[in-house]
A and B are shown apart, each in its own frame.
Chain A
Amino acid sequence: MALVNEKGPSLAQRVNRRLRYYSPTIAVALGVIILWEVIVLLFNIQQFLLPKPSAIFSEFMLQVNLWLRPGESSILFEAAGATFWEAFGGFVIGCGSGVLMALITSRWTIISEATMPFAIAANSVPIIAFAPIMNNWFGITNPASKMAIVAIIVFFPTMINTVRGLTLVDAGQLELMHSYAAKPARIMFSLRIPNALPFIFSALRVASALSLIGAVVAEFFGGPRATLGVYITQEAGAFDFAKAWTAILMASLIGIGFYLAVLVLERRLMPWHASFREVG
């Protein structure tokens, strides 16, 4: 009988287990950073080719200080905020309409069968190529131009995955509903949508990373000064590579944070899912 211990492990045990679980990852990260620093020093690599991690870190702390000091402002943190909102806005609009479209199309098999090939084809189009067009439509400094790109990028994978989740339902579970003489709306809410949740969340995890990439790359095509993409291109153009790298670091941190937020939401909404079962 595979029963779970009712009380579960204590907090100290859990922290201990977590530490042991993550220690190899932390060791690898530290190792790479130290190796990077040593290689730059050893081979005397110029800062415009590859700055030392310590230089990037001190530039980053300088910006943190500016940001925290009253009366001062950090353009890096301003840029991070702007880019985050573009990514987040596009994520919400794109994923929201992707799920909505999937719900509508899967209700009628004919529509989903007719639209799915186009969605799959559109998913392999490099949407980022539309960035100059969006700048034209919405205005180059208008965040809506970047949000639009992000929304289109995340729309298709979300819609495709949601349709899969709504339609790939266990035959026995459907027959059960049939035997209860359940109406289609009931089957949708009690079976198809819960069944689709794992599919939707795997799409959202991909979309969280895609949305930040989409926003930053769209900014490479032009935008207000205080956005990460523009900051990176300008600082790199001015040969201030430590600054460019701090912006890259910032984008990475936001991306990871975004991904983790989706993961937390996923655990909240589907505590029953297989991928979260504690082993041992």
Chain B
Amino acid sequence: MSAEQGVVIAANGINKIFNPGTDEEVIALQDINLDVRGGEFISLVGPSGCGKSTLMRLVGDLLQPTSGDLLVNGKSPQDARLDRDYGMVFQAATLYDWRSVTKNVQLPLEVMGYAKAERQKRAGEMLEMVELEAFAEHYPWQLSGGMQQRVSIARALAFDPSILLMDEPFGALDEFTRERMNLELLRIWEQTGKTVVFVTHSISEAIFLSNRIVVMSPRPGRITKIVRNDLPYPRDFKTRSDPAYHNLVSEVRELLRDAVGSGAPGSVQAPSRPHEE
């Protein structure tokens, strides 16, 4: 396991309300307290509407909290963003169609004013890391969904940010590709030692990847429990047949069932008063 450093993300009493004071007021997040340590792989898991993406976006300064304290590397999220502390990967690969694979990976480096030789060197290293060096001159449309997402990861890591924010990065991929991508992501994480915040609605994916799983519940979005996963790294396909892995999957599934209510599929969508635990 990678060496744990100090706290890099510190959230204290975070609330996020959309459209406050109007009919469409939504409490997206309520009283969120979370510390993420350096080099940690942490997953946010929960049903839709639980605010997991919102929380990630607050950390990444794509949204601002309504109240509460949020510090990233000891700075405000905005300062962290201006210092280029974040690499971001979204569910859609969001590659620029008009750029070749290598030019896509070089995009952040161009924006940040790296010299051409350095850009090419880094892009080469990153593409090697995601095993796509043979596709450097291809265009995004010539790649499969999984390959596109690997380019997107290479691009996010090209400028060596300290934190990787991933919002359901493998949500659009088929099961087989997704499992391969999980292994590859773990390899990259162990190789680079980045802090990863990973949003997913897949319980098994969250457990397979993470040190800790933040289980969240909707209406209003809250943290139900933070589950530790001490299964050793490196993890591989055998991890998925470990009884401890299955116990964790059951535990998180139970927590989510309690969080959503009766557990009936329809109840996820039904508007209900939040009940206190």
Contact = CB atoms under 8 A, between A and B. Distances in A.
Given A175-B88, A180-B111, A190-B110, A2 B94 contact: no
A275 to B, nearest CB: 11
A2 B142 contact: yes
B81 A2 contact: no
Given A180-B84, A180-B112, A172 B147 contact: no
Nearest 10 CB-CB pairings of A with B: A172-B94, A180-B111, A194-B98, A182-B111, A1-B144, A179-B88, A181-B82, A172-B90, A180-B108, A272-B139
Interface string A174-216: 0111111110001000110010010000000000000000000
A156 B60 CA distance: 40
B244 interface: no
Contacts of A3: 138, 142
A167 B190 CA distance: 40
A184 to B, nearest CB: 12
Interface residues of A, number: 25
A270 interface: yes
A194 B104 CA distance: 13
Nearest to B78: A181
Contacts of B88: 175-176, 179
A44 to B, nearest CB: 57
A270 B99 CA distance: 10
A180 B155 CA distance: 11
A173 B144 contact: no
A32 interface: no
A1 B143 CA distance: 7
B138 to A, nearest CB: 8
Nearest to A193: B98
Residues of B in contact with A, size category: 20 to 34
A117 B107 CA distance: 35
Interface in B192-222: none
10 contacts: A1-B143, A170-B92, A170-B94, A176-B88, A179-B60, A179-B61, A180-B111, A180-B112, A190-B96, A274-B141
A279 interface: no
A181 B81 contact: yes
Nearest to A270: B98
A2 B97 contact: no
Contacts of A18: none
B62 interface: yes
Interface in B73-90: 81-82, 84, 86-88, 90
A263 B82 CA distance: 42
Contacts of B138: 3
Nearest to A183: B111
Contacts of A268: none
B153 to A, nearest CB: 13
Given A2-B141, A3-B142, A190-B111, 4 more contacts: A172-B90, A179-B60, A182-B111, A190-B96
Interface string B256-277: 0000000000000000000000
B21 to A, nearest CB: 25
B111 A272 contact: no
Interface in B129-153: 138-139, 141-144, 147
Contact of A273 (B84, B86, B92, B97): B97
A272 B84 contact: no
A180 B80 CA distance: 11
A4 interface: yes
A69 interface: no
Contacts of A175: 62, 88, 90
A20 interface: no
A272 B98 contact: yes
B134 to A, nearest CB: 10
Contacts of A7: none
A274 B142 CA distance: 11
A191 B96 contact: yes
A180 B107 CA distance: 9
Contact of B84 (A170, A181, A186): A181
Contacts of B60: 179
Given A182-B111, A190-B111, A176 B94 contact: yes
Which one of A172, A178, A186, A191 has the greatest number of beta carbons of chain B within 10 Å?
A172
A202 to B, nearest CB: 16
Interface in B104-118: 107-108, 110-112
Interface string B156-192: 0001000000000000000000000000000000000
A2 B92 CA distance: 18
Contacts of A178: 61-62, 81
Contacts of A190: 96, 107, 110-111
A4 B142 contact: yes
